[in-house]
Structure 1
């Protein structure tokens, strides 16, 4: 076989795309958010518009999508770190930042009470948590959910879920060596009738098989065993499974 040249890919002409966000009213901003799959609120779109008005120019499509990704629920956890108001038997309760005022604050208080016996080395600061094991070694833990991606594409969603918790310990501190994986999965009843599936929802059996295969295959290819796990079934997970992956 003789070849004068190797054809790779197809011809491409670069085109800079600018989004005229400064000229959009509120309705147009929300249309851009929806049709552009940015899924940002009106306040967020108005904030982006105001920023580029200060810069005196419009954003490129890449800039706009980068902001939308950074501000997404998946990346910034807006609900968990947001302002929350609710009522219980003690009256109305308010949090300016629910995550910092609950989990963060409780952890700080516990560490203060432990004093010199505090075995936490790094918490809420790096890509993963670090605890003291003995005088020579620390142990790095990382766990993370990858729920909605796994609802849309079970194998790939679970793949990237376990991949992320393997990656993060490698970038924690001076770098840790991943030695084992763990997981907890929550699915709807795998015998659910197809007639009872909401529109756009994958069958829980398909979700279950894809998630289990995704976590298993990723770990096997990297030579990292899954040493323990759990599976829980409840019909409330029909629309969105819980895919909770961890690494040590």
Structure 2
């Protein structure tokens, strides 16, 4: 069984899941970020990439699994759910139906618009918004800075981190957190990541930061890059 973490933030509790999702228990809201559906087909169409376009099916399968695990009333996708604005022309009708079947499992499904997907394919159910509030958290795609009075949960930056355990270096997506912000890991199957010592992430977290690694066996805290992210708690 995976080890997940309940983080008591200044806005309230949030469950950080090893499947790269988060759950707000007070409102039964499940959060996922940066699904990037159809990235594989996009890379094939623009660059003749040899990467097989299996990412949409894999991401759909994992999304269905995490919904079955938490049985949320509300699912919020925090932007960049689709890799580009041309998805409607490439996505298989069967995959659209699979996604609508998943959406129908919950009482409410919300798409927060991202920089990759300012328009959600019209064949898909769910509401479209720029941002929203839930359980005292401000949910956005891009990190919000100006006038921030709530804990901001966002995506966009795809944080990841490396740990060295028994002379092996392992790299996994992670939650990048501070007193006022939680940057979600990317949920998509083919998405890359930005190391948490990158200035783009460091600037959004400030001095009081910590990271929660999403290893296959669970979520584990790691120290800052100042001590090279070596933490034996990840070795179990």
| TM-score past 0.5 threshold | no
- With the shorter chain as reference, the TM-score category is under 0.3
Q: Comparing both chains, which one has the higher relative contact order based on Cα–Cα distances under 8 Å and sequence gaps of 6 or more? A: 2
- Provide TM-score, normalisation by structure 2: 0.27
- Provide TM-score, normalisation by structure 1: 0.27
Say which one has the larger Rg.
Answer: 1
Q: More strand by proportion, 1 or 2?
A: 2
